[in-house]
């Protein structure tokens, strides 16, 4: 598998985020113009313009390029919902202050993975292959195809909040980002403590989930 696909599978937000970049970069057919897709469609032109802007392609402009992409992409994610789901039943056992710190550290985990891998996008094609919506929940199914014709699946789970659709989980090759982190976090809490989990997040000791490898 090419480096971008490996990055997608190894680094969530990059897995998710570069996947999201791909999702945003595609042209969404009018037949797929559902509400969740409309949220994605609103960012397509912005992301495309940033990535194709010749004034932002140099290494000297990397920080500016990342910041502009960050402003477009991250508002599409519900980090609080992702953090809550990744902690599972342990969420209710935490104080509001602990919950707030956990959300902050979880978001930093995701953003740091994104920043580290933002330049690995290499022209993969993303095709929307399905969508389902039930009340305030939706899922957009995609396939990412590289230049060799290899493909893998990335599914986006969205939740409607305050009239806006936001991503709360990404499933890469049948591996849920939220479920994967929940397993990691629960192991730490069961073996040690919630405080130890927070410290490991502060120390950036968590690896992002790995998807199915292709050669």
Task: Kindly state the average pLDDT of the residues 126-132.
Answer: 80
pLDDT band at 215 (very low <50, low <70, confident <90, very high): very low
pLDDT at 168 over 90: yes
What residue segments make up the domains of the chain, in order of their start? 3-202
Pick 160 or 213 by higher pLDDT: 160
Average pLDDT, the chain: 78
The first and second tokens of residue 150, run together, are 């290899």
Percent of the chain with pLDDT over 90: 33
Pick 34 or 30 by higher pLDDT: 34
Strand ranges inside the chain, DSSP E: 125-134, 137-145, 151-161, 164-172, 175-176
> What CA–CA distance (Å, rounded) separates 102 from 168?
16
pLDDT at 151 over 70: yes
What is the length of the chain?
215
Task: Kindly state the average pLDDT of the residues 114-125.
Answer: 66
The 8-class DSSP code of residue 163 comes to T
pLDDT of residue 104: 96
Domain 3-202 is found in CATH 3.40.50.150: no
pLDDT band at 169 (very low <50, low <70, confident <90, very high): very high
């Amino acid at each position: 598998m090419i480096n971008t696909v490996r990055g997608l599978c190894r680094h969530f937000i990059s897995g998710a985020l570069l996947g999201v970049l791909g999702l945003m970069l595609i042209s969404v057919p009018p037949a797929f113009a559902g509400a969740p897709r409309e949220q994605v469609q609103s960012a397509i032109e912005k992301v495309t313009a940033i990535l194709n802007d010749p004034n932002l392609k140099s290494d000297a402009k990397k920080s500016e390029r990342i910041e502009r992409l960050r402003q477009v992409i991250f508002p599409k994610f519900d980090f609080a919902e992702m953090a809550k789901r990744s902690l599972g039943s342990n969420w209710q056992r935490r104080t509001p202050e602990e919950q707030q710190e956990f959300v902050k550290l979880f978001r930093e985990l995701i953003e740091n993975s994104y920043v580290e891998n933002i330049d690995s996008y290499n022209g993969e094609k993303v095709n929307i292959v399905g969508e389902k919506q039930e009340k305030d929940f939706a899922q957009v199914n995609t396939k990412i195809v590289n230049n060799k014709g290899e493909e893998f699946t990335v599914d986006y789970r969205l939740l409607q909040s305050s009239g806006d659709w936001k991503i709360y989980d990404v499933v890469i090759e049948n591996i849920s980002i939220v479920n994967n982190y929940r397993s990691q976090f629960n192991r730490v809490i069961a073996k040690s403590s919630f405080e130890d989990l927070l410290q490991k997040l502060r120390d950036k000791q968590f690896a992002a989930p790995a998807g199915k490898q292709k050669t």
